[in-house]
Amino acid sequence: MSDRGGSSALTAVAIAAVGVLLGAAVLAAFLAQDEQDRAAASTDCLPGTSQLGATPGNLLAAPGSFIKPVDPAAVTYTSGFGVRWGSMHQGIDLAGPIGTPIYAAADGTVYAAGEASGFGQWVVLDHVIDGKTVSTVYGHVDTFTVAAGQPVRAGQLIATIGNRGESTGPHLHFEIWDGGRAGGTAIDPLAQYDAAPAPGSAPPGASSAAPPPAPVDQLAGTAPGAGGDLSTPTPASMGTETNLQVGTKRVMRALALKFGDRLDSLGGWRANGGAADDHPQGRAVDAMIPNYSSGDGVALGNEVLDYVMAHADFFHLEYAIWRQTIHFPGQEPSLMEDRGSDNENHMNHVHITVDASGFDDANAVWGQLPGGTAAGPGASAAAPGCTTPGTGLGEDLAAGSVPAEFEPWLRKAGGICPQIKSSLLAAQLDAENGFSYGAGAPVSNTGAGGPAQFMPGTWATYGKDYDGDGSIDINSIGDAVMAQGQYMCDIAGVIDAGIADGRVSAPNGPTELYLAGYNAGEGAVLSSGGFPTGSNDYIVQTRPYADKIIAAEPTFRSQNS
């Protein structure tokens, strides 16, 4: 099986020579990606990966991995790299049945996904490695599951084998480009392919019956629950301490111990510091957050921020930045200017700058992990009740998760429409007013009242005598919860219609948009074409509101749902 797609005028001899020189370097570089190159994907069930790990078909590998793009047992190598049929064949062909899964070979970002001349359809991924772009190309695909601009993880299902374009049979055409496909050089992928582990398998040399040896990813002497000796360097799988000062190494080691592979990676020194000089001076660490735009991702970032702020004296903390907000020890946080991207606004990582104490490791007193509780070997286990995106977050209530008087009404309200479940409504009530009700329940400074914090105008529309006591009472559990469920369902209907006709984008699933509609009005969602933008209130109020509820929802969800 072979193809005629995507060729150039380079000669086989020249390309082969480049491949020999660059092959080993590219493979090694794949195993040491910088933190900026692994912005988190869109969801999070497996700590340190993304919720994609819980999606059927994904076989996620550890950050920095390079894997085979297909299961080698499902394909046959049929054609190599070099001159063929009078032109340059810039990859290798791996024949297999139509529909065979294709996985991202390494962490990166989707450059292209869709129609392509010669290939019929393709996916192209960019991987920034040691400051240089390396691209991988997947040609003749039958279907694809990713979109341009989307971050992906090694082992994420991105496409299936097809027989599209100029092809003599179903197969994957796989390329590696040193320097990127736009302006770089194609190299023979065979050495990398042969050396890489299969998707879902242990790295070469590791036992298939047991996890990889502990020294690779665990710090010595840090049993689960132990304090943790900070004199041991950060594991290479988490980040590099190159050019970091002593205090910066200390905070990086503490984060690696405390959070383990719940984080995507830890980054430190780089030559270009952007708006500040703390990275070039080796005084800053970036804790990259997986699934940073989801409730679970935000909760993890909050946890990292809270940890370093709580131990500011130990770390000699100067400041931390998370979600466009800068935090100085002992001061109120301040919203920063919009710098134009999630990375520059610190939406995908917690930035930590310390008074770093110089570079003299020999006389350093490292100390023990403040707060104790190092991340143990179980840190990669799937989180129970992990948040799932999409239509209808959660399901039924966990027994005893809400005050008993709320339970029957939440179950009833959670059955009004399929998009809005009782566990989501419970998390929303907890965020709104902490399940307070009755005449003494607090009223917000904007006039919102009752357990569901209805504004008077909205209550005039949705308030009804649901509990049959002869009155319409904003502080009545039955009246308020049923009105809450009905209003949320109406919002969901409006937003779903916007998604269906292309007016609204929901890259993280529609549930966060339903919540944004409740907080800011569904009109704000429609006019923004997605999560509301254009107002500082949406940053400091609506986004935290939605994130908090989505992060809390699993605590109210029955595990039998």
Return the residue matching tokens 């991924």.
125
**According to the model, what pLDDT value does residue 103 have?**
94
Please tell me whether residue 67 adopts helix, strand or coil conformation: coil
459-486 pLDDT, tens per residue?
888 899 888 889 999 888 999 999 999 9
Whether 508 contacts 43, CB under 8 Å? yes
Instruction: Give the model's confidence band at 363: pLDDT under 50 very low, under 70 low, under 90 confident, else very high.
Output: confident
**According to the model, what pLDDT value does residue 53 have?**
33
Instruction: Give the model's confidence band at 334: pLDDT under 50 very low, under 70 low, under 90 confident, else very high.
Output: confident
Whether 555 contacts 385, CB under 8 Å? yes
Average pLDDT score, the chain: 76
**According to the model, what pLDDT value does residue 388 have?**
30
Please tell me whether residue 488 adopts helix, strand or coil conformation: helix
**According to the model, what pLDDT value does residue 375 have?**
62
d(CA 92, CA 190): 7
> Taking 80 as the threshold, does the pLDDT of residue 202 lie above it?
no
d(CA 76, CA 97): 10
- Which residues lie across from 133 on neighbouring strands? 128
37-79 pLDDT, tens per residue?
333 322 333 222 233 333 346 787 776 788 999 999 999 999 8
What domains, with CATH codes, occur in the chain?
Answer: 12-195 (2.70.70.10), 221-375 (no CATH), 407-556 (1.10.530.10)
d(CA 257, CA 259): 6
How far, in whole angstroms, is CA 83 from its chain's centroid?
40
**According to the model, what pLDDT value does residue 535 have?**
78
**According to the model, what pLDDT value does residue 560 have?**
53
> Taking 70 as the threshold, does the pLDDT of residue 97 lie above it?
yes
**According to the model, what pLDDT value does residue 448 have?**
80
**According to the model, what pLDDT value does residue 391 have?**
36
d(CA 512, CA 4): 45
More confident residue, 561 or 53: 561
